[in-house]
Structure 1
Amino acid sequence: MQTPDDGARARRPEPGTADTVVLDVDGTLVDSVYHHVWAWQHAFAEVGVDVPLWQVHRAIGMGGDRLVAAVAGDAVERGVGDRLREVHDEAYERVVRTVRPLPGAEDLVTTLLEQGWRVGVASSGTREQTATALELLPDAHRLDAVVAGPDVDTTKPAADIARLCVERAGGSAGLLVGDTVWDVRTAGALGGACLGVLTGGFSEAELLDAGAFAVVGSAEDVPAALHDLAPHHRGAVTPSTREVPRA
């Protein structure tokens, strides 16, 4: 598998150096990683390209603009890349209603806001897939920013998607939370830090080796891990004071 490298290694954070938490979606907030693996397998089979499931799983977290070449090569991307992405999206749509929130995700945004963070989500998925995932989270309307793959020229592990999320949230520096090594590499490309979670199938050792400053079990463990790094405690923010900039 080709492994794109878009920047420096993620760094260890210092208290007060970041003001915006950039949350990944698939595998971090919602339990959708293996739905995407199945959809990609279906797409590759549709065009007659044999790619092992484990290899597809290792690439989940990249955007579709990068995944095809990473797992099947540049020639496949040039020849049928657009068709593969189309079939993947159609297949994923057939199973998306079985996706569920991961532990702790449903009130994570509110808890982080109360710690003083600006909070946004940055997903390499489509706008429709991102919006559908956020429908599962009762406090998603309180997000400061929502960014999806089509909003940038290059998706993870390039820094573009995280940088835009921080900008839209009105922040100055981001701290990423994600389940894949691609999230960690995105943080490195951004010049920031990444907290890993284990709910996407990557191991603690892999996430730490990629540069995550710490790894926790799931979204429910994120607030405790970030508490001492929060910029300040600004208290609860009512929904009426925050409108979600939809992707």
Structure 2
Amino acid sequence: MSYQPEFKCMFNSLIFDADGVLMDSMPCHADAWVRTFSEVGIDIVRQDIYDIEGSNHVGVIKLIFKKAGLEADPEIIEKLRVRKRELFLKNKKIAPFDGMYDLLKTLKSHFHLAVVSGSDRPIVDSMINEFYPDIFEVTISGADVTNGKPHPEPYLKAMKILEVEKENCLVIENAPLGVDSAKNAGIHCVAVSTYVDTEKLKRADQIFQDHSQLLKFLADLEPLR
């Protein structure tokens, strides 16, 4: 387990990234993006997507196009967004991480719970409704913000809707851009190294190597009273 100094504060709100934290879903997302970009002549691999995970569809497309030395206009962005969502939902092979639902069901009695994802609203809703029904008070998708991760807007928006203060919030992430988003918003953040090396998550306040370590940490949290 990789740690920064342990927290000396308590929280009343836990804000979760979805893909890679709640759901083992990033391979499916990555495969959909690989296929989508290949159809416009851009060859990438899964790791290219893992490294920019957390960004919304606009951010993903612009970053991949930039890496290929190209520019993405609004028309191509919309075309690729629709195609990627179609491929993801058609070939959806995902599952929640073991133990997460039962733990969140318990935590719900003591904390405000929210989800902040870079994925499109239909994708986020399909995952949350199927695997985490009646758990979260607030769900923010990539389509609900003007600026996706690493911009602070997604987490600031969730915090505003929850009507909580940033010092009482904890973000749970697994992606470098997601960690940056939380820290840019001034919010405490822990990260689990699901698909990237821990070195890429070094801005997080605390880092876990796997979900078993993350679950133990969350189960031991003392709520703010």
With the shorter chain as reference, the TM-score category is: 0.7 to 0.9
CA root-mean-square deviation:
2.3
1:51 is aligned, of 28, 44, 48, to 44
Query: Aligned in 2, Cα 1:48/1:36: closer, same or farther, shift over 3 Å?
Result: same
Residue 76 of structure 1 corresponds to: 71
8 Å contact kept, 2:53–2:176: no
Residue 107 (structure 1) aligned with residue 139 (structure 2): no
Residue 20 of structure 1 corresponds to: 13
Q: Secondary structure at the match of 2:208?
A: strand
8 Å contact kept, 2:208–2:214: no
Residue 38 of structure 1 corresponds to: 31
**What's the offset of the Cα at 1:229?**
5.2
**What's the offset of the Cα at 1:64?**
0.9
**What's the offset of the Cα at 1:158?**
1.2
Q: Which segments of 5 or more consecutive residues in structure 2 lack a partner in the other structure?
A: none
Q: Secondary structure at the match of 1:191?
A: coil
2:217 is aligned, of 203, 225, 247, to 225
Q: Secondary structure at the match of 1:156?
A: coil
Query: Aligned in 2, Cα 1:11/1:42: closer, same or farther, shift over 3 Å?
Result: farther
Residue 180 (structure 1) aligned with residue 172 (structure 2): no
**What's the offset of the Cα at 1:216?**
4.8
Counterpart Cα distance in 1 of 2:87 and 2:39? 11
8 Å contact kept, 2:155–2:185: yes
Number of residue pairs aligned between Structure 1 and Structure 2: 216
Runs of 4+ in 1 over 3 A off after TM superposition: 10-14, 220-224, 226-229
8 Å contact kept, 1:183–1:194: no
Q: Secondary structure at the match of 2:100?
A: coil
Query: Aligned in 2, Cα 1:31/1:228: closer, same or farther, shift over 3 Å?
Result: closer
Residue 66 (structure 1) aligned with residue 66 (structure 2): no
Q: Secondary structure at the match of 1:119?
A: strand
Q: If the length of structure 1 is used for normalisation, what is the TM-score?
A: 0.78
Q: Secondary structure at the match of 1:59?
A: coil
Query: Aligned in 2, Cα 1:137/1:38: closer, same or farther, shift over 3 Å?
Result: same
Percent identity at matched positions? Answer: 19
Counterpart Cα distance in 1 of 2:150 and 2:83? 23
1:124 is aligned, of 105, 118, 121, to 118
**Map of 1:150-165 to 2, 5 A cutoff?**
150-165=143-158
Counterpart Cα distance in 2 of 1:45 and 1:130? 24
8 Å contact kept, 2:52–2:176: no
**What's the offset of the Cα at 1:221?**
4.0
Query: Aligned in 2, Cα 1:71/1:13: closer, same or farther, shift over 3 Å?
Result: farther
Counterpart Cα distance in 2 of 1:228 and 1:89? 36
Residue 29 (structure 1) aligned with residue 28 (structure 2): no
The amino acid that maps onto 1:94 is K
Counterpart Cα distance in 2 of 1:111 and 1:205? 32
Q: Which segments of 5 or more consecutive residues in structure 1 lack a partner in the other structure?
A: 1-9, 233-247
Counterpart Cα distance in 1 of 2:46 and 2:91? 17
